[in-house]
Structure 1
Amino acid sequence: MFDPPKRSGPRPATTGLEIPHDQIDQFSPAPIREALIEQARALPGVFLGPSQVSEPASLALRLHRPAGPWEAFLHPSPDEFAHIHRAGFLHLTLPQPMIAPLVAAGWAEPHPISLRPQWPDTIVMLYAPRDEDELSVVGTALRASWRQASLEEE
């Protein structure tokens, strides 16, 4: 059972649009975003590069050997399970049991595109971590996304 702590403060403002689905305030400070990227880089089998499904400045997290189910990836990419935007927020797929608790605790919102039947309903925006404590929660969600896509255990 996943029970994240309540995120402090109000939710960040977002566009609420399918494209662009952006967070427009409460960004990550540069050192926190860099620490998030380092966590991503350390995941086994992951390589980083420009997103195949988002703005080119987004940093994609892709797998050398994707093994997860269809709902573990950001389509149409066959191997991108997450990307980190310049402001520090992420779009990623999550195991279904994690989504409602993260949304209820103020950490995430479903991606509007996931309402379309040709897209998995596992795609969320995970808000930009603002400090080390928030980075810990975001890192937990990121590792869950990686496990779902790679079928690996830490």
Structure 2
Amino acid sequence: MAVDLSGLPARRGPRPGTTGREVPHDQLEDFSPPGIRAALVAYAEGLPGVRTGPSLVSEPGSLALRLHREEQPFEAFLHPSVDEFGHIHRSGFLHLTVPAPDLAVLTELGWTEPHPISRRAEFPDTIVMLYAPRDEEELAVARTVLRASYDQAAA
């Protein structure tokens, strides 16, 4: 059953500063407090079949979220990796894939922005930056979006 992201609340305040259309794509402010990031990591590690470890497609220190699948849907994984559907950066923001129908609503609500690499044909256009959750309410949203990404990869 697909996670419904249309009922999420709007993110409070202005969007955090990011490197925008640059690679590497980084969030520059409004980071997660250590306890919130730790709770997000614990949630991710608790998803069935998810393995964590160093990311093969991101900066050192990013925690990859891996899910081995015999058939990996192109739009559900961070290429060129064959099993990484997202990663959590040290400051709490995530890069992950989200279902295509949810891209616009997540951006309109202020939770995500497209990853600049998704403009290239060899990468799926479903890769986004999910801004770092700053408190428990935002952590709940991040868990919901992460679950939608996981479900897409696990389908």
The TM-score with structure 1 as length reference comes to 0.94
Equivalent position to 1:88, from 56, 75, 92:
92
In the alignment, what sits opposite 1:118? 122
In structure 1, the gaps of 5 or more residues are: none
Task: Label 1:34 to 1:66 Cα distance change in 2 as closer, same or farther (>3 A).
Answer: farther
Q: CA deviation at 1:17?
A: 3.5
Q: Which amino acid aligns with 2:127?
A: I
Cα distance between partner residues in 2 of 1:65 and 1:112:
26
Task: Kindly indicate whether the alpha-carbon contact (under 8 Å) linking 2:72 and 2:83 is maintained by their aligned counterparts in 1.
Answer: no
Measured after TM superposition, the shift of residue 20 of structure 1 is 1.0
1:39 equivalent in alignment to 2:7: no
Cα separation, partners in 2 of 1:87 and 1:56, compared to 1, 3 Å: same
Secondary structure class of the residue paired with 2:36: helix
Q: Which amino acid in the other structure matches residue 9 of structure 2? A: P
RMSD: 1.1
Q: Partner of 1:97 in structure 2?
A: 101
What SS does the aligned partner of 1:82 have?
A: strand
Out of 106, 111, 114, the position equivalent to 1:107 is: 111
- 2-structure distance, mates of 1:97, 1:36: 24
In the alignment, structure 2 segments of 5+ residues that lack a partner are none
Per-residue CA deviation, residues 106-138 of structure 1 (Å, 9 max, x unaligned), is: 100000110111110000000000000000011
CA-CA distance at 1:3 after TM superposition: 2.8
| SS of the residue 1:15 aligns to | coil
State the one-letter code of the partner of 1:26: D
Contact 2:10 2:109 in 1 (8 A): yes
Instruction: Supply the distance in 1 between the matched residues of 2:98 and 2:71 (Cα, whole angstroms).
Output: 15
Which amino acid in 1 is paired with 2:18?
T
Query: Any runs of at least 4 consecutive aligned residues in structure 1 with deviations exceeding 6 A, and if so which?
Result: none
Q: Which of these residues, 67, 70, 73, is aligned with residue 77 of structure 2? A: 73
Matched, 1:132 2:136: yes
Identity among equivalent positions (%) equals 65
**Equivalent position SS for 2:87:** strand
TM-score (norm 2): 0.94
